[in-house]
Each structure stands twice: as C-alpha cells, then as structure tokens.
Structure 1
C-alpha cells in the first residue's frame, strides 16, 4: 500500500481502500471547493466554488467540468431530496433552497423566529423527507464567502424542515460552529461536526453524535464521537457499514462506527468535504481547497436518494 496515499492506524482500514487505486485530480483553479453531491441518474457531480460564486458540474462520461450556476449566491453545501431535486445552502441569501425541474427555485428556509438565518452551510435529507441543515456564521463574518452582515440568531444551530408541512424547528442549539452532518445508515443516529476551532484554537474540533428520537423529529445528545487531529472537521459522509469518512487538514480521516480512527487518505490540499458516487457508490469525490479529487475505494456510501 502506497505510503504517500494512505496512513493505516487499524488493519481494518486496509480492507476499505484499494492499494492499486490512485488519487485523481479532476479539476483545479477554484478558490474554495465545497458541497459535492452525486446525481446517479445523470452520472454527474455538482460542487461549489464558494468565493467565485459558482456551482460546477463534473460529468463522469468525459471527465469534463463546466459551470452549472453563476452567480450562485455563494452556495456551499448541497444534497438531493427523495424526488431527485437539488437542495442547496446559500451563504449570500442566508437561505436553503430547492431547484425545481422547470428551473425555478423554491425557498425552503430563510429565517427562524422572525430573524434571518446566519448562513446555512451543509444539508442532508432523511427518508421521511425532512431536511436537516447547519447554520454557522461563516457566510456573514466576511465578504469572501458571503456578505459581511450582523448576526440575528442568538445561536449557531442545527435545524429541521418538516417534509410535509415545511415547518422549521431548531433541534440543536449548543454548537460553536456546526458544519457537516450525516445520518447513520439506519437513521437512528445523527452526526454533526463542530468546526469552531477554525477561528478559536481552544474550540472543539470534533464530531458529535445524537440519537434520533420522537419519530425522527428530534435528537438526544450522545456525546462526542470522534476528534480530528489535523485541521478541523468540515464535511463528511457515512458508508454502508456506518463508518464515518471525514474531511481534515491532511486529507480524509476514516472512523469506524464507534468513533475509533482506522486510517487516513492523505490529500495534497486541505479537504473541505467529500461524497460517495459512481455507478456503485464506491468512488470517493473529494473537494479540497482549489481542486476536485476522486479515488476508488473498497467501500460504498450509505444509500442516499
């Protein structure tokens, strides 16, 4: 196994990766890549270049990258819902939106309690159709990834949009900077990253776990799950075995379902986010600073819409 690509902590990690696979740089020239989401029916990946106000599209058929949307309202994280529609978090407008088949945009959330959201960051959809998103302040603390603006919310929260009524509820309120989030394969647990150490060295740099309760409408704190030892946790995904693949300063850190570090995939640039894609959900797409990378692995992403 190539030492330049993998760092093995637990021998089980060796079964999750492919020694013959290589890390491919698919695209570069961005300012800060983020929010990758795979659309299997179109065999393509959408991802954000936040400061450049672009959403880009990678086509697997010919390895091409083109601009899908510009200006993008400083879009960050994306996912797709159960109907195959693109859900996006926009820093610039401080809202969560849905792109409809006819090209129109539906606003799903832009405030809470009569006040503007901070800057929705990352988003995930549950099997009941509910949409969960994080709302740190990254998009309003400068003019680089959004617009410098006063914060109206008293917390940096995690919110749930009901899939039937569209009602927005605050489900977690004690984060410093909530960032990436994902469900376990059976949706009994929600994981949320706290990237507060991005601006405060003394702040947490961990992923927290929450048990999903009340019929999927609320969560109960289950404590810290995993700590990133290089950089901060940003975006992450869960594979079909419940292992967590998380962004970090030196690459992708892979944790088993108990939160134990099993190994790392070393990437030349700071990783912001990642997702599983390809025909068998075994191609890991990685957004890292200025570039989009891909690596085939011996794991499959948890089933998503």
Structure 2
C-alpha cells in the first residue's frame, strides 16, 4: 500500500472515516445510501428481493457466473472500524481475525448467520499497528506489525516468536502482507514503507522517509526504545523466511516488484503472485499491475505481468489478493468512486468479474465453515458475499 497521502486517498474515495472509539452496534443511525447502484441501495441490512441477483456483482465473462450464488446479495457485516486489514479465518474457532491498523488493535468477528452485522470483540488490545495476518500449517497466527517493524508468530502456549525484524543488519520498513507456502512451511511477506507514519506506526528517523524535516519524534510513546530507535528506510523487498532454519532471504527486489503489497500462491503452489501498488517511472515502464512468477526450486522466477489491472480505462490500485480452488485470483481494488471493489481474474489473467463496493477494498479472504464466504475489508467497513467457490490458501 502506498503512502498515506497516496494509497489512503484512493482507498478512502467516498469514505468518511469513523472517529468513534468503539465499533458501532447494528442499531447505529442509518447512513446515506450508496449511489453505485440504480436505484440507490442501502447497506443497512439485506438487499430487497428486487435486487437479486445483486446488481453490484457484475459478470464480465460468462464463466464468472459459475462462481456465483445468484440468490444472495452483498452484505455489510461490520461498520465503525478505524482502518481494517488482514482478515484471516480461524477455522477451529469459526471466527474472523482482522487488524485495525489505525487503532492498533486486533478484532475477532463472529459473522452473522444471515443479514445484519456480526458480533465483534477485541482480540488483542495492543497489536502494534498490525496489518497482515495468516495461519501456518500448524494453525499458529502469523502477524505483520507496522509499529515494531517485524513479523511475529503466536505459539500455541501463548508466547510470541519473532520471525523477522531486520535484514542485512537493518530494521525492516513495515511488513504488510504475509502468507505461508504449505509445501515447505516457508513464510513470505512484503515489506513496503506504507506503515512509517504516525497514524499506522512510527515515523522514520530525522531526515529519512516519512520524516524529512526531522520534526516528528519517532521514539515518542514507546517502552521499547531500542526497537524504535532512529530507523532509516531501506530498499523494498519481498522476503522468504525458511521454514526449517528461519533464515530470511530477499527473493524479489524493488526492480522485480515495485512497491509490493499483496501476495499469494496458486492452488498448486506452482505460481507466485504479487501486486505492484504504485505506478513506476516511465523509464521502468511499470504500472499498477499483478505480477506472476513460476516457482522453481522453491523460489520465484520468470517474471511476467499477469494482468494490467485496468477497469473501464482506469488503472485501478491492486491490494490484497487471494486464489480460489479453481485458480481464479480475487483482488481488492481501489480507484474512482463507482469502480472500486473486488476484481476477479481467471488463471489466464482475464478479468471475468467485478464486485462493486461503495469504497475501495484493501484486503480480503475466504472464510466460513465451507470457505465459500468472501470477506472484503473496505476502510472502516467489511462486506461479505457467499460464493460457489472456495478459498485455496490457509487463510
């Protein structure tokens, strides 16, 4: 995700950030209806029968209809967050874990059986501005922390293990999204500099990155002065942590994936995908795209552009991505009002479907007991759509 003034401006298009200190209950005052549908729809509850099939679930190719259940609408299951990220389904507990990067908390959401909002409670009171979450093959939670600039794992006994917090002797930038390769238990994460702000983490040291004038006190309000010492932004990479010895390796460089954000594997783990969020220079010729790599001996090789991420002549901003069991790629998209939501690509990189949402979508995941419920984080709100496909990954 790009800087606060870049990515957040796009992601928050049409979105009023909610300043309440607690998440609103389902009985909160009604909000003005969205204008992305005609007639305008209300997100306060289940869509009227006349809206089925949902007009905001749009098939751009006949094959997309095979993935849909036409008798269910998009549902809003959560409102009143700060900025929601990193949704991960915990199958044993049947709850959704998610991060609130602004409030520095993690939540547990018990989804509603049908319409209305789910039951929300605090999972971790202080999450150090966590972002991405996932599960490993043993069911342990792995979390990216912006504030501590590290990737951690919560063990079954409740202890915390640091997976990665530095590379080549330098602190990480702000780990963003994380996944696990079930073939070798390796942990993969992106490390852009999107969380080096006062709102989502802590600034860089004076004269660096988000603190060019040196006026921001980057060590203020912490009990861990060593971790929060003067950090300077380092080159942005995608990292792999070995599942056996814990060794961290930079597998993709800024030239391979400029400004990396979301990442995932194909269902058979033979293809690795990563999103490039910020437009590159004219010299590099890069744009906001999804890249694909062949997995060769456990490492990504043979880079190519999987899709250009264009919608109605707009280069949308890709964010979190997840694959379903058929190899389709579902990706959060932000951009002009009325275009934002989720884009679905088939394994060949063809855009086949579009879930139109009132706000830009950052992260998403498949959940529910059958893993056929698509949960979509959109700023302070979360939406759900029941599908006739299932998620392929661990989270």
Query: Scaled by the length of structure 1, what TM-score is found?
Result: 0.94
Where do 5+ consecutive residues of structure 2 fail to align? 1-51, 210-231, 335-339
Counterpart for residue 275 of structure 2: 193
1:49 and 1:172 mapped to 2: Cα distance? 28
1:43 and 1:61 in contact (8 A); partners too: no
Counterpart for residue 225 of structure 1: 306
2:346 and 2:124 mapped to 1: Cα distance? 36
RMSD of aligned C-alpha atoms?
A: 2.0
What pairs up with 1:144-293 in 2 under 5 angstroms?
144-149=199-204, 150=208, 152=232, 154-173=234-253, 174=255, 175-197=257-279, 204-214=287-297, 216=298, 218-229=299-310, 231-249=316-334, 250-293=340-383
1:88 and 1:98 in contact (8 A); partners too: yes
More strand as a share of residues: 1
- Larger radius of gyration between Structure 1 and Structure 2: 2
2:323 and 2:393 in contact (8 A); partners too: no
Counterpart for residue 136 of structure 1: 192
Using the TM superposition, give the Cα deviation of residue 227 of structure 1 relative to its aligned residue in structure 2, in angstroms. Answer: 2.4
1:304 match: secondary structure? coil
2:142 and 2:175 mapped to 1: Cα distance? 11
1:162 and 1:219 mapped to 2: Cα distance? 14
1:236 match: secondary structure? strand
Using the TM superposition, give the Cα deviation of residue 286 of structure 1 relative to its aligned residue in structure 2, in angstroms. Answer: 0.8
Where do 5+ consecutive residues of structure 1 fail to align? none
1:27 aligns with 2:78: yes
1:208 and 1:225 in contact (8 A); partners too: yes
1:16 and 1:87 mapped to 2: Cα distance? 29
1:204 and 1:118 mapped to 2: Cα distance? 22
1:55 and 1:70 in contact (8 A); partners too: yes
Structure 1 pair 32/256, CA: closer, same or farther in 2 (3 Å)?
Answer: same
Using the TM superposition, give the Cα deviation of residue 153 of structure 1 relative to its aligned residue in structure 2, in angstroms. Answer: 5.4
1:179 match: secondary structure? strand
1:221 and 1:170 mapped to 2: Cα distance? 16
Using the TM superposition, give the Cα deviation of residue 135 of structure 1 relative to its aligned residue in structure 2, in angstroms. Answer: 0.4
Counterpart for residue 40 of structure 1: 91
1:126 and 1:184 mapped to 2: Cα distance? 10
Counterpart for residue 103 of structure 1: 158
1:236 and 1:273 in contact (8 A); partners too: yes
1:268 and 1:2 mapped to 2: Cα distance? 18
Tell me which stretches of 4 or more aligned residues in structure 1 moved more than 6 Å.
none
2:250 and 2:126 mapped to 1: Cα distance? 29
